[in-house]
Amino acid sequence: MRTAAALTFSALLAVTLHAGAAPRNLSEELKPADRALAAQQYARAYRLYARAAPRNPLAQFSLGLIEQKGWGRPANPVAACAWYGKAAQGNIPAAQQSFADCLASGTGQAADGQAALAWYRKAAESGIAYALCSAGELSIRGKVVAKDVAHGLALCTQAAQAGLAPAMLRLADYYRDDQDVPQNLAAARAWYQQAAEHRLLVAQYRLGLMLSQGEGGAADPAAALSWLEHAASEGYAPAYLPVAILYGNSAPDPATGALTPEHLAKIYMWTSAAKATATSQADRAEIDKIEQLVDRVMPAQWKPELDRRVAEHLGKFAAP
């Protein structure tokens, strides 16, 4: 069973009502249900949405979301898809996208690629631009529609060119190492750059790695460190260790031939953050090596203050 804590329901409603796709009065009668859902009073919320569902497609979509996420009940993808189908017919754009997902996966009924494409297009026309990437995925994989990689990439490119950061990220991932897409590291790096500039932390992380390793263009350690440290500073844990390594490989102080005190402190802090979050054996082994090197050169009296900063950072981004 899952909770609704990760979802801001008012934001979701703003998406479903995009471009006037559903009249504003559809949400008015659902306010008591919305408040119950926000308070995690799931049984009450479900009952109120179900009462309104026969005449309100937005209530139908909400019921689908509850069934899909398993809020207050076991997740039921088949029931979710049935509600999404009804809400899609009622012109709720987010439901059109979700119902297309159901049709593409064959959840609750036989997979129907052409119907899925039609609903993805309708969702995109209603303002859910990312539906173009979902439609493109069907063409790239060629499982429920004819395989056409170029067409699939073109669809997702439309969404990316419209300024949609998740579409930029998805394109970059395709071009970097997708099994069905010819590798194009320069294109991957360019799309990661655009997604990073839209503040997607995973894009900043992946761009930083490409810049550090010279993938898709010349290596740029300074830019790599900038992007990776920004992602790390925002709590993106996979960036912690690469940041520590880049600081460790930074140019020494010309006057002393050693790392600057600032860089040494950064190595210690980011390594400590990585140690607190690392899950792979390889990362832990790398962290141990860095710690041993730092312990040889960093004054022990620095540690209490640096440890306090690390704890403060980790506490800020700890899961609720």
Task: Using the structure block, give the residue that is written with the tokens 């300074």.
Answer: 222
Query: Residue 254's CB: how many other CB atoms inside 10 A?
Result: 6
Q: Which two tokens stand for residue 255?
A: 């006057």
CA-CA-CA-CA dihedral for 208, 214, 218, 223, to nearest 10: 20
Choosing from 68, 94, 126, the residue where a domain stops is 126
Q: Is residue 66 part of a domain?
A: yes
In the structure, what pLDDT confidence band is assigned to residue 245 with cuts at 50, 70 and 90? very high
Q: Is residue 72 part of a domain?
A: yes
Choosing from 77, 105, 126, the residue where a domain stops is 126
Q: Is residue 281 part of a domain?
A: yes
Whichever domain contains 110, its CATH number is 1.25.40.10
pLDDT of 207 > 90? The answer is yes
For the chain, helix, strand, coil in percent to 5 are 70, 0, 30
Mean pLDDT of 124-129: 95
pLDDT of 212 > 90? The answer is yes
Q: Is residue 98 part of a domain?
A: yes
Mean pLDDT of 232-247: 97
Q: What is the DSSP string of 141-176?
A: HTSSS---HHHHHHHHHHHHHTT-HHHHHHHHHHHH
CA-CA-CA-CA dihedral for 186, 190, 193, 197, to nearest 10: 180
Using alpha carbons only, how large is the chain's radius of gyration in Å?
24
Report residue 2: phi and psi, to 5°. Answer: -115, 165
Under 8 Å between Cβ of 127 and 18: yes
Under 8 Å between Cβ of 294 and 271: yes
In the structure, what pLDDT confidence band is assigned to residue 4 with cuts at 50, 70 and 90? very low
Give the integer Cα–Cα distance in Å for 117 and 97.
10
User: What is residue 19's predicted lDDT score, i.e. its pLDDT?
Assistant: 41
Tens of pLDDT along 271-306? 999 999 999 999 999 999 999 999 999 999 999 999
Q: Is residue 225 part of a domain?
A: no
State percent of the chain over pLDDT 90: 87
- Residue-number span of the structural domain to which 311 is assigned: 235-320
**∠ CA 116-121-127, rounded to 5°:** 130
Choosing from 105, 126, 147, the residue where a domain stops is 126
pTM: 0.87
In the structure, what pLDDT confidence band is assigned to residue 9 with cuts at 50, 70 and 90? very low
Q: Please name which of 198, 211, 201, 149 lies closest in space to residue 174, comparing C-alpha atoms.
A: 149
Mean pLDDT of 216-228: 98
Count structural domains, the chain.
2
Q: Is residue 143 part of a domain?
A: no
Q: Which two tokens stand for residue 220?
A: 């740029």
Q: Is residue 201 part of a domain?
A: no
Q: Is residue 298 part of a domain?
A: yes
Tens of pLDDT along 156-174? 999 999 999 999 999 999 9
Mean pLDDT of 48-54: 97
